[in-house]
Copies of this chain bind each other. A is one copy, B any other.
Amino acid sequence: MDFKPSVLMSSVRSKRPLVHHITNYVTVNDCANICICAGGSPVMTDAIEDVVDMVSVSSALVLNIGTLNTRINRSMLTAGKVAREHGVPVILDPVGMGATPFRTSTVTEIIRRVRPDVIKGNQGEMGVLSGMGGDVKGVDSHGASGDVAEIVREIAERYGCVAAATGEVDHVSDGDTVVRLSNGHDLLGAVSGTGCMVSSVVGCYVGANGPSVDSVSAAISAFNISAEYAAKASNGPGTFKPALLDAVYNLSSEDLDSGIRRVVL
């Protein structure tokens, strides 16, 4: 393969893309910090009076519905629409999709009105979104019903986006190619917000390199390979999180390119 994720990582680090997040209040700090460590510049404003001006000068917009409410949903739709008009790529993280009707209808409305460039969820959420079925309890995935490769391919084709389903193994598709990634560590499942953090890193890579299977894959792999290093430097979920931020910040091109476990299906 000719895929060199380090080229995309270098682009993030040199361009320092401004990544506008409208996100949840649980993991917002982790998203800001992982964004910096990955090479981006985060901004998290969600006031309707502020988002239009902010997103207009941003390189990417990350919409995360982890703790949605009507005020923030309105800001998401407004910012998303303006992002599209300005050619700013939009990443949607449909947190808890399928867990409640409010979440499901919010995701549906964002997809219909904003047409995100990237949709990235866990396997359960993406299973629900595909219509093939997924099991979501609270904001945790308990897996998808069908073949995950087919789930992301179907979502990508239907919505004209890059779709990614994360889990022990990750799948990314643009409706044509499907890529399977298998880096990472079990401790990622023991820290709140690692899924949100991946979306922020995707925001950095897409902001600097445009939306594609390669840029989304590189972002996920950079994060997951860093997690492998972080696990060695930690004693549990508490020390794992700071170690993960360190590892993303310190990740070398060689560690990324040689560490990636990626198969084109």
Write the residues of chain A forming the contact surface with B, with a CB cutoff of 8 angstroms. Answer: 18, 20, 24-30, 32-33, 35-37, 41-50, 53-54, 57-58, 66-71, 96, 99-103, 137-140, 190-193, 233-239, 241-247, 249-250
Contacts and interface: CB of A to CB of B under 8 A. Distances in A.
B238 A32 contact: no
Contacts of A41: 137-138, 140
A54 B193 CA distance: 18
Contacts of A137: 18, 41, 57
A243 to B, nearest CB: 6
Nearest to A138: B43
B237 A37 contact: yes
A165 B29 CA distance: 24
Contact of A28 (B26, B50, B139, B244): B26
A102 B49 contact: yes
State how many copies of this chain the complex holds: 3
Contacts of A100: 45, 50, 53-54
A32 B138 contact: no
Contacts of A35: 192
Nearest to A99: B54
B241 A238 contact: yes
Given A26-B29, A36-B191, A57-B137, 13 more contacts: A26-B32, A26-B44, A29-B29, A43-B99, A45-B96, A47-B70, A48-B69, A50-B69, A53-B99, A234-B246, A238-B247, A239-B245, A241-B242
A32 B70 contact: no
A137 B53 CA distance: 11
Contacts of A246: 234-239
A236 B46 contact: no
